[in-house]
Amino acid sequence: MSETAQGGEKFSSHTGFGLGAAAIFLALDQVSKWWIVHVFGLVERGRVPVFPHFDLVFVKNKGVSYGLFSQDSAAGQWFLIAFAIIAVIVMLLWLIKSETRLVALSLGLIIGGAIGNSIDRAIYGGVVDFISLYGFDYYWYVFNVADTAIVAGVIGLIYDSLIANRKNA
């Protein structure tokens, strides 16, 4: 179930699966943002209705989730990048020891999303968000593919810790 690396550390058989998920969602995230900014030109277009309750709108998020802890300075953005790098390293160490495909997938989604949003901070000075869902006079926050991957990954980890482990007990 595990492979031994140089130095005797054990790698989970699910590590490659998690890294693959991270790479796929990182690519999807970056391609979607590049297309929305440089091909579709959403910055110049403003809000673009797509379907009822779904618009495309360009928002540069200089904070973290929901725009919390907004950082207008370059130093603040680099602090958020450094924080994300540390979090990714911790999650990679966890991924290496993951015991299930669900945990590996969940960590891969979070890792890919965190790296994608960090790339935005380095290139654009903030995270490129563009998906706006709303309804019943309620506007949800604007988000992107990386945010979706992170949320799905967190839900997977919560499911694994609360429900999957209970089934195994």
In 25-92, at which residue ranges do the beta strands (DSSP E only) sit?
A: 48-51, 54-61
The alpha helices in 66-131, defined as continuous H runs, are 74-96, 101-124
Q: Pick the catalytic residue: 29, 55, 120, 129?
A: 129
The answer to whether the CB of 77 falls within 8 A of the CB of 126 is yes
CA atoms within 13 A on the CB side of 92: 13
Q: Is 29 a catalytic residue?
A: no
Q: Is 129 a catalytic residue?
A: yes
Q: Which long-range contacts (CB under 8 A, 24 or more apart) does 67-76 make?
A: 67/141, 74/125
Quote the distance between the C-alpha of residue 115 and its chain's center.
Answer: 7
Q: Pick the catalytic residue: 29, 137, 147, 160?
A: 147
Contacts of 141 (CB under 8 A, 6+ apart): 65, 66, 67, 129
58: closest CA among 76, 77, 38?
38
User: Catalytic positions, please?
Assistant: 129, 147
